[in-house]
Amino acid sequence: MNRARTGPPTVGVVIITMGDREAELGALLESVEAQEGEPAKVIVLGQGVKLPALPDPVAAVELPENLGIPGGRNAGVRWLREHGGADIVLVLDDDGLLPRTDTLHLVREAFTANPKLGIVGFRIADENGVSQRRHVPRLGGADPLISGPVTTFLGGAHAIRMDVIDQVGDFPDKFFYAHEETDFAWRALDAGWEIDYRADLVLTHPRTPASRHAVYYRNTGRNRVWLAKRHLPAILVPVYLATWAAYTLAQRPPLAGLRSWWAGFFEGVRVPCPPRRPMRWRTVWRMTRLGRPPVI
């Protein structure tokens, strides 16, 4: 779907929160308000919690329950559609901060310059401006200061062309947490869209381990299996899962975490997560040329 535009693309900002970072959320909203150019339409969604007072014109939506990260984002997109829409959906972590005032301008510029660009991933940096390897969407966490095409993106800060969501669908609600971005990215790539990592688009975010989430190990194991079952050609499914099992063991997680990971892995094997729509081999080759074949 191509929308006729008479001006710069409109931006809708989606922020989901558990209601426990009021000060950080306030600082993030101030950094969004400080952006140059046309103001964005901003919505904050409380995941089954009561929201604090928010500045006008930020929209506040209190969801009846915690829908998980993908479910919360989907609810934000639905709200934007019901309230005038947006050409670009910008998703930000509630404890992040935009240190530059031209970030939205650069986002609009990127999507305007390349009609095939579907998703832009930000660089996430800690309080000292340092990016962790796991926050760089390339194998080995290669230099975070180098921008370029990639095969996935980070959930904490990214922008998606609304046309991509219209074409490939929402984030997978059932994943709840972990790998929902990769699921979406694979569908977007298979539909012919491009994904860029932009080092100049920065979200400052506290340095925290991914394992801080109580469901980290179990959901990671389960959702890796669902990801493979949903999107990979059949011959690649066991290769992908074997690779990630070996990688997990090599990381030497705590015994409790490893048990939880295997429990999630076998839950993913046992429980279906439709639909299954294997990507084309052309997409597999394209991802391989970009440096990350879908078996790693």
Walk along the chain (296 residues) and give the pLDDT tens digit of each residue.
Answer: 444 556 899 999 999 999 999 999 999 999 999 999 999 999 999 999 999 999 999 999 999 999 999 999 999 999 999 999 999 999 999 999 999 999 999 999 999 999 999 999 999 999 888 998 888 998 876 799 999 999 999 999 999 999 999 999 999 999 999 999 999 999 999 999 999 999 999 999 998 766 555 589 999 999 999 999 999 999 999 999 999 999 999 989 999 999 999 999 999 999 999 999 999 999 999 999 999 999 98
- CA distances 138 to 107, 141, 186, 210, 293, Å, are 21, 5, 15, 17, 11
The pLDDT, as a whole number, for residue 208 is: 75
Torsion 270-274-278-283 (CA) sign = negative
pTM of the model: 0.95
- Scan for tokens 């694979």, then name that residue: 186
According to DSSP, the residues that pair with 203 across neighbouring strands are 124
Our measurement of the distance from residue 226's CA atom to the centroid of its chain's CA atoms, rounded to an integer in Å, reads 17
Going from N- to C-terminal start, the domains of the chain cover 11-208, 212-289
Which residues, at least 6 apart from 273, have a Cβ–Cβ distance to it below 8 Å?
172, 174, 175, 226, 229, 230
Three-state SS at 221: helix
Three-state SS at 198: strand
**CATH topology assigned to domain 11-208:** Spore Coat Polysaccharide Biosynthesis Protein SpsA; Chain A (3.90.550)
The pLDDT, as a whole number, for residue 134 is: 83
